[in-house]
Structure 1
Amino acid sequence: MLTLWGRLNSHNVKKVAWLAEEIGLPYVRHDVGGAFGMSDAYLAINPNALVPTIEDGDIVLWESNAILRYLAAAYAPTLWPADPAVRAIGDRWMDWQFGYADAQRDAFLQLVRRAPEARDAAVIARSAEACAAQMAVLERYLAATSWLSRAAFGIGDIPMGVYAHTWFTLDIARPELPYVRAWYERLIERPGFAGQVMIPLT
């Protein structure tokens, strides 16, 4: 059985838990990181001191998007097609998500992980503006297609799907982006997203 190491309030852990639920892959998850700390045994399998990490038989992997690619290839290849041209369509959004995460980080940390009296409104505003600029890119793309993976839902939708939930949840200024909103509402209909991603931000 797949073992997933990482606390579920991590964006990157949510990605992996959502995919496992999406494809019906049995797994056990252990809380690691943040308030749960990291044992020497965990650091022995992931020297980066980050989450998530998976163990699947003899395979040990870290880096959330690499884990998504591995699990899809091994257990649900329809979510990450064999045709490299088709696969690359969704794959590029998996890497694009890291830039978006940089834009959102300050707003998330200020609004979720700091007490109200310790927040910096200017930092939050700059982060919100950066998020809006990135989401506008997503809006233009989704105006022509239903999914980031193009014709159908795929793992290319998962990384930004997790961050989109945070964007829609944070108390920040957001422009009206109807195609992003419609894509997000399609994600909400997926049980794995609702159960593993749509949890309180902590």
Structure 2
Amino acid sequence: MLRILGKASSINVRKVLWACAEIEIPFEREDWGAGFKSTHMPEFISLNPNAMVPVIQDEDLVLWESNSIIRYLASRYNGAHLYPDQPRLRARVDQWMDWQASDLNKSWTYAFMSLVRQSPEHQDAKSLAAACGQWSRHMEVLDRQLESTGAYVSGDEFCLSDIPIGLSVNRWFETPLDHPDFPAVRAYYERLSRRPGYLLHGRNGIP
């Protein structure tokens, strides 16, 4: 059975859990990370030298990096409805997954650490204002894309790119800051909320 290492509150672990829910993959999960078993233990470092969750073990395969994991799961476990084989369609999915990991993910770091984690190192007012503005600018990019598709990030149908971005949208709404009005993002949030996997692992009260 698929083994998932990582605490269920981690946004990156939640990507994997939601993907498993969508593809109906049975798994066993173990709590690793802050508040649980340390990812700096030799046992974990031997699996992921970066000491970060999630990690999966699928038979003799060990894999880390959450977006790589969900791509693998969709390819391995009959998830072509989420991650198409056709190169042009797959490239569009990959494009938005990579944008989430490289651009959107970085835009929220300071604001999230300040407003949700209450980190003492992230309480500079000017830096926080700049970070909130940067986050809003990236959400505006997403709003325009969703307005264009009228449905999901990569097109008419729910697909793998909606998992990391859907979790990012939940984090946006769950973080206590002034939210500009992005109607397409709000409609997307409600659309995703009709999916049981999103209610379990996305819109579940955890930012």
TM-score range, shorter chain: over 0.9
Bigger proportion of residues as helix? 1
Match of 2:95 in 1: 92
Q: Is the 8 A contact 1:94 1:160 kept in 2?
A: yes
Q: Which runs of 5+ in 2 are unaligned?
A: none
1:13-69 CA-to-partner distances (Å, cap 9, x unmatched) read 111111111221111111111222223211111111111100111111001100011
Q: 2:146 is matched with which residue: 136, 142, 146? A: 142
Q: Which residue of 2 aligns with 1:174?
A: 179
The one-letter amino acid of 1:176's match is D
Query: 1:109 corresponds to which residue?
Result: 113
Equivalent AA in structure 2 for residue 34 of structure 1: A
Checking the alignment, whether the CA contact within 8 Å between 1:112 and 1:201 is kept in structure 2 is: no
The reply on whether 1:158 has 2:149 as its aligned counterpart is no
Partner of 2:73: 71
Structure 1 residue 200: deviation in Å?
3.7
The equivalent residue for 1:45 is 47
TM-score w.r.t. length of structure 2:
0.92
Candidates 196, 199, 202, aligned match of 2:204:
199
Residue ranges of structure 1 left out of the alignment (5+ in a row): none
In 1, Cα distance between equivalents of 2:126 and 2:11 = 24
Task: Read off the aligned partner of 1:191 and give its amino acid letter.
Answer: P
Distance (whole Å) between structure 1 residues aligned to residue 142 and residue 136 of structure 2? 10
Q: In 2, are the aligned partners of 1:107 and 1:127 still within 8 Å (CA)? A: yes
Does the Cα contact within 8 Å between 2:146 and 2:184 map onto a contact in 1?
yes
2:59 — aligned with what?
A: 57
Instruction: After TM superposition, give the deviation of residue 109 of structure 1 in Å.
Output: 0.8
2:28 counterpart SS class? strand
- Counterpart CA distance in 2 for 1:7 and 1:121 is 31
Contact 1:12–1:52 (Cα < 8 Å) also in 2? yes
For the residues of structure 2 that align with 1:143 and 1:112, how far apart are their CA atoms?
A: 29
Number of equivalenced pairs: 202
- Where 2:29 maps in the other structure, the secondary structure is strand
Match of 2:126 among 122, 127, 132: 122
Contact 1:6-1:30 within 8 A present in 2 as well = yes
Contact 2:12 2:53 in 1 (8 A): yes
Q: Deviations over 1:49-91 (max 9, x none)?
A: 1111001111110011000110011111211001010111111
Distance 2:130 2:35 in 1: 28
CA-atom RMSD in angstroms: 1.7
Q: Which residue of 1 aligns with 2:4?
A: 4
Q: RCO (CA 8 Å, sep 6+): is it higher in 1 or 2?
A: 1
